[in-house]
Structure 1
Amino acid sequence: MDIFADSDAFRIAGLPLHPLLVHAVVVLTPLTALAVAIAAVWPSARRRLGYAPPVAALLVAGLVPITVLAGQELADTVGETPAIERHEELGLMLIPWTIALLIASVAVAVIDRMPPARRPTPLTRAAAMIVPALAVVTAVGTIVVTVLTGDAGARAVWEGV
């Protein structure tokens, strides 16, 4: 039995779930990305934030695909338009970005919690520079794709109204 075959799977009290989930994604994804970037470049903030960035990144990495599925169900209900197709394409692009953000947040947490070596190797020095840089790039990319997706969704809903 396919739970997604039933159109009520993504409805609450008869209302589509996608618009409700979108608000959580639009708020939590950039905040999580910002926390990951701050943790990556600011050691005292990293210690204060603790495991919050990886936990938030895990939440976002799970929430985005559910939101995409709910959006696909809503698109099937209201019909495809070029604006909706563009929004859907961008929403699908957000999935790998949030997965990369999760990986980056875990890498930042792991690097920070590794015991200090008596004599750092070139590999540990490189990791200490590369991981934060990749985390920041991933955070920025995630925010950009989130904004583009949200903008495309808003245009799909509100243009011509």
Structure 2
Amino acid sequence: MSPTVVNGLPAHILFVHFVVVLVPLTALAVVAAAVRPAWARRMGVVLPVTALVTLALVPVTTHAGEWLEKRAGHGALLERHTELGDTLLPWATGLFLVATAVWWTARRTAPAAARDGAAPSGLLTAGWFRAAAVVLSVVVAAGAVVDVYRIGESGAKAAWQGTAQSAPASR
């Protein structure tokens, strides 16, 4: 399905960095685009494409993590991290769907406004729809970011708890 080793290192270690960066950035972009339709038009197709790349990286990272888990042994912390890792795909899917909907509605309002020289109109500028888009984007974005944080924290604990000290090691 996906690479499991990159240059002799478990690929999960590499892929997780992409997810940790892209999920919050995509979440921020989705909220910004929902709040400001002009920003959605300015971002253009980059918004849903970034969300799609983010979505695609989640199962790739999860697969590489499952491969690593089979070789790292078992423990309560690792089990917790693995369970939490499976919760990100629905949030990433939600980010992609909201990003696509915001982009699509902003795209559809732009040509009419440019042609008429008038202010943009349409779904994304309709008060009720825009409010719903903002609320939905904030909920999905917050859920995705919080989930990434929880997964990352559990992974760090699984990897590092008991291996480092608060005081520097003596030489």
**Aligned positions of 1:31-46 closer than 5 A:** 31-46=25-40
SS at structure 1 position matched to 2:162: coil
Which structure has the bigger radius of gyration? 2
Cα distance, 1:89 vs structure 2: 1.3
Q: Which residue of 2 aligns with 1:146?
A: 148
SS at structure 1 position matched to 2:33: helix
* 1:70 partner amino acid: A
Aligned residues: 152
Q: Which residue of 2 aligns with 1:17?
A: 11
Distance in structure 1 (CA, Å) of the matches to 2:84 and 2:35: 28
Q: Are 1:77 and 2:71 matched, yes or no?
A: yes
TM-score of the pair, normalised by structure 1: 0.85
Are the structure 2 counterparts of residues 120 and 74 from structure 1 closer, same or farther at C-alpha, using a change threshold of 3 Å? closer
* Runs (4+) off by over 3 Å: none
Cα distance, 1:13 vs structure 2: 2.8
Cα distance, 1:114 vs structure 2: 2.8
Taking only aligned residues, the RMSD between alpha carbons, in angstroms, comes to: 2.2
CA contact under 8 A between 2:44 and 2:107: conserved in structure 1?
no
Which of 113, 119, 131 pairs up with 2:107? Answer: 113
Cα distance, 1:125 vs structure 2: 5.0
Which of 78, 85, 94 pairs up with 1:91? Answer: 85
Cα distance, 1:42 vs structure 2: 1.6
Q: Is there any run of 5+ residues in structure 1 with no aligned partner, and where?
A: none
* 1:154 partner amino acid: A
CA contact under 8 A between 1:61 and 1:102: conserved in structure 2?
yes
CA contact under 8 A between 1:108 and 1:135: conserved in structure 2?
no
CA-to-partner distance for each residue in 1:50-69, whole Å, 9 max, x for gaps? Answer: 22221111001000110001
SS at structure 2 position matched to 1:61: helix
Cα distance, 1:79 vs structure 2: 1.2
SS at structure 1 position matched to 2:82: helix
Q: Are 1:136 and 2:130 matched, yes or no?
A: no
CA contact under 8 A between 2:34 and 2:130: conserved in structure 1?
no
Are the structure 2 counterparts of residues 108 and 120 from structure 1 closer, same or farther at C-alpha, using a change threshold of 3 Å? closer
TM-score of the pair, normalised by structure 2: 0.81
Which of 39, 42, 46 pairs up with 1:48? Answer: 42
* 2:158 partner amino acid: A
CA contact under 8 A between 2:38 and 2:106: conserved in structure 1?
no
